[in-house]
Amino acid sequence: MSKIWIFDLDDTLHDASSKIFPRINQSMTAYVSNKLNISLADAHQLRDKYWKVYGATLKGLIQNHGVDPQEFLLNTHDAEELSKFVKQSHALENTLKKLKGKKIVFTNAPLHYAMAVIKALRIQKYFSGIYSIESTNYNPKPSLYAFRKILKQLGKRPNQCVMVEDDLANLKTAHMIGMQTILVSKLNKKTAFVTKRISKIQYLTREV
Ligand SMILES: [Mg+2]
């Protein structure tokens, strides 16, 4: 039985924390402030609240303010601007080349952004599918709904899948439904729901 490799995108296949996430964050707060006609400080506070309640700013905006999700995602993820911060890596490419089995990307980011990042990394040809926030009706990981939705679209069972991720909460759901889990993290955060931990994505082929 060949494996299906499910890769998270940001902070798993490339570094998003240092330059990309701060910019997306800023854009989201500015968007909320403009859209709802509130101060940046109030927008920040509201986003914080929606993050706690819904797991994402967008969910809260859809449910409470009828915001158009595509308008929000296009306004907050300027793919052209953000992909300038993506560093192409031969090590990443070699890892994906060596890894046997079907590979897909499963991200909480919007599709246009995910495609731009994958293109900037020059790794499009290794993936047979990109599953974005649009693929799960705007329900982000770690929701069970998001995982079930992806599995249904893939036509696969959880025990055929390996989830490769930097986020522990997402791996917890993956493990709970029966996937193997690989944590990509420099910190020693190995827990009961992490099958293996690697400090960098390019060490993946050493472990399998
Ligand atoms: Mg991530």
What pLDDT is recorded for position 202?
A: 93
What is the domain count for the chain? 2
CATH code where residue 43 lies: 1.10.150.450
19: tokens are 């330059």
**Residues 90-149: pLDDT tens digits?**
999 999 999 999 999 999 999 999 999 999 999 999 999 999 999 999 999 999 999 999
The alpha carbon of 3 and the centre of ligand 1 are apart by a number of angstroms equal to 21
Residues contacting 132, CB < 8 A, separation 6+: 107, 108, 109, 110, 111, 114
**Residues 162-200: pLDDT tens digits?**
999 999 999 999 999 999 999 999 987 778 999 999 999
8: tokens are 């998270």
Q: Bridge-partner residues for 196, per DSSP?
A: 182
The alpha carbon of 39 and the centre of ligand 1 are apart by a number of angstroms equal to 29
Q: Which residue type sits at 59?
A: K
63 and 93 both lie in a single domain: no
CATH code where residue 91 lies: 3.40.50.1000
128 and 170 both lie in a single domain: yes
Model confidence band, residue 15 (pLDDT cutoffs 50, 70, 90): very high
Per the structure, the complete domain to which residue 150 belongs is given by: 4-14+86-207
110 and 146 both lie in a single domain: yes
What pLDDT is recorded for position 55?
A: 86
106 and 203 both lie in a single domain: yes
Last residue of a domain, one of 61, 81, 101: 81
> Which residues have beta carbons under 5 A from ligand 1 (an ion)?
8, 10-11, 166
